[in-house]
Amino acid sequence: MNSQNIYILGIESSCDDTAAAVIHNGKILSNIIANQKIHEEYGGVVPELASRAHQQNIVPVVDQALKKAGITKDQLSAVAFTKGPGLMGSLLVGTSFAKSLAYGLNIPLIDVNHMQAHILAHFIDEEGFDKPPFPFLAMTISGGHTQIVKVNNHFDMEVIGETIDDAVGEAYDKSGKLLGLGYPAGPEIDKRAKLGNPKAFKFSKPKVDGLNFSFSGLKTAILYFIQREVKNNPNFIEENLNDICASIQYTIIGILTDKLKKASKETGIKHIAIGGGVSANSGIRQALKDGESKHGWTTYVPKFEFTTDNAAMIAIVGYLKYLDKDFTTQNVMANARLKI
């Protein structure tokens, strides 16, 4: 295949979004995502329902990605897919489809680590977005993960800090549930936080050694706070919702930035990138930007559409691995607990 004409199809199915993207020499031609609304009524992702929806969505999503990219499947150089981590049933749908397609087309198959992909999304060729130089620190924040990763090169990454219990996305969703907000609660808390006073209510930050995080204690503190205040005033949540959201967001951002400051100081690295679904949060993005003037950081925030689960990030990893001829075999299996 001519090095100037590398087309990679990326497939993502780790949780509740079925996604497919086509990348051409590092530039995204299409990035199609089918969301699953069915989980909203349950207040969280139901794995069995997610798997069934992936089976319904994957063929039309891949078809649409190829059409939008303006190519046929016969022009593909390789197929890249999410091997893990994620929900096993969901991963199996994407893995099986990718293996079958690559086998049928007789082209290379490339397995991708979902968490690495969130970080390497920064290397998609996108006008107005700089690529971080090595080494840099990446904070991956999502519904299932909260990590600080030292990135030495594309595929040499070291987790130097992570949550010991809940992920930051869970902290948002569980807090939102206590406040009567829908699922996912993160975007709603972020929206309301802009209208409230971040210092209206004080929540203590958990004390965790090193660069690790903890969010379960914060969730419990918010629960007791809400129960106490509602007992005194049944309308407390309704009357103070924006201030409560602003105070929760302020505390969560403080927990994240405190550890990031510590990591930067310990490693001496001032190039800081974020990735993962929660990096779409406007408060977190602003706090990172503020770090440029406060701490002398150079920060990297991905394009909004590359923050939440998407196949463009799978495609860029596929492209980078293709250049290294780092392919997998038809014996590859999904791994729900895959580590960086």
pLDDT of 247 strictly over 70: yes
Do 288 and 317 fall into the same domain?
no
Question: Is 106 inside a domain boundary?
Answer: yes
Cα 321 to Cα 115, 120, 270, 314, distances in angstroms: 15, 11, 27, 11
74 and 59 share a domain?
A: yes
Does the annotation place 43 within a ligand binding site? no
Q: Is 271 labeled as ligand-binding?
A: no
141 with 253, same domain? yes
258 is in an annotated binding site: no
Exposed, middle or buried: residue 268 (CB in 10 Å: 0-12, 13-18, 19+)? exposed
Does 276 appear as a known binding residue?
A: no
Q: Is 140 marked as binding a ligand?
A: yes
The pLDDT tens digits for 61-104 are: 999 999 999 999 999 999 999 999 999 999 999 999 999 999 99
Annotated binding residue at 142? yes
How far apart CA 76 and CA 149 sit, in angstroms, is 32
Asked if 99 and 181 sit in the same domain, the reply is: no
- Tens digit of pLDDT for each residue in 178-221? 999 988 899 999 999 999 999 999 999 998 999 999 999 999 99
Is there a contact between 161 and 212 (Cβ–Cβ < 8 Å)? yes
| Residue 97 and residue 147 in one domain | no
| Residue 333 within a domain | no
Query: Does 114 carry a binding-site annotation?
Result: yes
Residue 309 annotated in ligand binding: yes
Q: How far apart are CA 292 and CA 274, in angstroms?
A: 14
Domain-embedded: residue 338 = no
Strand order in the sheet with 27-35: 27-35, 17-24, 7-12, 78-84, 109-113
Same domain assignment for residues 178 and 103: no
Indicate the number of domains in the chain.
Answer: 2
pLDDT at 33 over 50: yes
Q: Are residues 107 and 154 in the same domain?
A: no
State pLDDT tens for residues 287-339.
999 999 999 999 999 999 999 889 999 999 999 999 999 999 999 999 999 99
Say whether both 140 and 37 belong to one domain.
no
190 is in an annotated binding site: yes
Does the annotation list 54 as a binding residue?
A: no
User: Do 108 and 142 share a domain, yes or no?
Assistant: no
Q: What is the pLDDT of residue 318?
A: 98
Is 39 annotated among the ligand-binding residues? no
1 inside domain: no
Q: What is the CATH number of the domain that holds 39?
A: 3.30.420.40
Q: If you average pLDDT over residues 247-275, what whole number do you get?
A: 97
Q: Please indicate if the annotation marks 118 as binding a ligand.
A: yes
* Of 292, 295, 286, the residue nearest 261 (C-alpha): 295
pLDDT at 35: 73
Let me know if residue 339 belongs to a domain: no
Average pLDDT, the chain: 94
Which structural domain range is residue 114 located in? 7-124+307-324
Q: What pTM value is reported for the model? A: 0.93
